[in-house]
Amino acid sequence: MTTILILYYSRHGATRQLAELIAQGVESVPGCDARLRTVPAVSTVTQATEPDIPTEGAPYVEATDLQECAGLALGSPTRFGNMAAAMKYFWDGTAPQWLSGTLAGKPACVFTSTGSMHGGQESTLLSMMLPLLHHGMVLLGLPYTQPELMRTSTGGSPYGASHWAGVNGDKAVSQESHALAIALGQRLAQTAQKLQG
């Protein structure tokens, strides 16, 4: 099986919904398996504050997840046009994987959710690409052959899948965002298989 790591942070569940849709896309490709993982929240003094095992949702990511994956989908809610601190904190601790080239040459994509329509979806997607580029990953986006990119009014861009969750996180994932997240997962899985040869 080709394992695709779907690593996300979600505070209120919207980014987690996108992660699960991307996982559906990954697993729709024969021979591919999605591995959902998250990162713990951090305190205002940037220390992990969560228990060793999450009370719900995906397990926390470990170094072996990065090593074993053939591709990576990275997701975070938007925080002032940037990835959430918990996700940034995780990537700041990946120097050993960077030095050893653990992720070099593997395909990757990004996804996000925002509380407001113009809350920085695209800048957040771009911010998450930066550590992936430093790790030598091959970045994938969504091509305009996906017709939903021209119809969406809630999220989705050539940079990756996104969702406008609303201030209270009460907006459902739109039909277009749903389709784009699944398509992104499929594209990542197919690319990983091709790169594996």
Helices (H) and strands (E) counted in the chain, each on its own, are 7, 7
The Cα–Cα gap between 27 and 63 comes to 22
pLDDT (tens digit per residue) in 102-156: 999 999 999 999 999 888 999 999 999 999 999 999 999 999 999 999 999 999 9
Binned at pLDDT 50, 70 and 90, residue 71 comes out as very high
pLDDT value at position 48? 63
pTM given for the model: 0.94
Instruction: Characterise 57 by phi-psi region: left (phi > 0), alpha (psi -120 to 50), beta (else).
Output: left
pLDDT, greater one: 173 or 43: 173
Q: Which residues in 58-67 are b (16+ Cβ under 10 Å) and which e?
A: bebbeeebbe
pLDDT value at position 60? 92
**Which H/E stretch holds residue 194?**
helix 175-196
pLDDT value at position 55? 80
Joined tokens for residue 20: 């699960």
Question: What amino acid is encoded at 29 in this protein?
Answer: V
Q: CA-CA distances (angstroms) from residue 161 to 1, 74, 91, 154, 181?
A: 25, 10, 20, 10, 5
